[in-house]
Chains A and B, each alone.
Chain A
Amino acid sequence: MFLIPVLAILSAMSLALVRAVLGPTVFDRVLAANAFGTKTVVILSVLGTMTRGPNFLDLALLYALINFIATLAVLKYFEYGDLAQRVDYVGEEEAP
């Protein structure tokens, strides 16, 4: 019963990996990593429900949190070239 969703998620994960390897820009790679993390959360949930193993759902919740924070941190690094910047830099950018 759980075999078809697991196979679908695994093939989608491999497609995301292909995009991460091929991706011409860095944003394609970040997008692929984000999609890969989302599918990891889903497949952890499915496997936890299927095998009734301990702590799978806690791991999935934790992985969702880490995936979100990691995507935002990597994006901020590539957008500003830094993780902690001066406050007035944003005001300069918005000025016409």
Chain B
Amino acid sequence: MSLLADLVSWVLLLGGAFFTLVGGIGIIRMPDVFTRLHAGSVTDTMGAGLILAGLMIHEGISQETVKLILILGFMWLSSPVSTYALARAALRHGQEPYWVEELEVPSTARIPGRQNTSADPEGA
């Protein structure tokens, strides 16, 4: 039982370390604010979730597990909220989302402050 718990906890910690590294690299590599937000949220959900789950299994049933569950639940509640607020503030301040130039912008896309001018240059 102890060996099995150690194995599962080890695998979860390794997976969390992998996702944390991927999120950190994405924050550096991505081209604009919104894609960086997308990359950084990987760290908040999968990285922190897997690492804290591994710690919970390592701890067993104890007071520390309750605190870890509290930390994880609050992080899963607060990180989407702050990500949403950050994306909304960036949109309001005229940060343009990254488009590939050849990519057709769908006419249903509503971006505040953009007014769909480049969406259909010869269409409408």
Contacts and interface: CB of A to CB of B under 8 A. Distances in A.
Interface of A: 1-2, 4-5, 7-9, 11-16, 18-19, 25, 27-28, 30-32, 34-35, 38-39, 41-42, 45-46, 48-49, 57-58, 60-61, 64-65, 67-68, 71-72, 75, 78-79
Contact of B79 (A9, A12, A38, A45): A38
A19 B86 CA distance: 16
Contacts of A11: 21, 24
B105 to A, nearest CB: 21
Contact of A8 (B18, B44, B71): B18
A34 B57 CA distance: 27
B68 interface: yes
27 contacts: A1-B13, A5-B17, A5-B20, A5-B51, A7-B17, A8-B16, A8-B20, A11-B24, A12-B23, A12-B25, A15-B25, A31-B27, A34-B40, A34-B86, A35-B43, A38-B48, A39-B43, A42-B47, A45-B68, A57-B67, A58-B67, A60-B71, A68-B74, A68-B82, A72-B81, A75-B89, A79-B88
Contacts, number: 138
A39 B18 CA distance: 13
A67 B27 CA distance: 18
Contacts of A35: 23-24, 27, 40, 43-44
Contacts of B95: 25, 27
A42 B28 contact: no
Contacts of A14: 24
A64 B71 contact: yes
Contact of A49 (B48, B59, B92): B59
Contact of A61 (B6, B74, B86): B74
Given A19-B36, A60-B71, A30 B86 contact: yes
A13 B44 contact: no
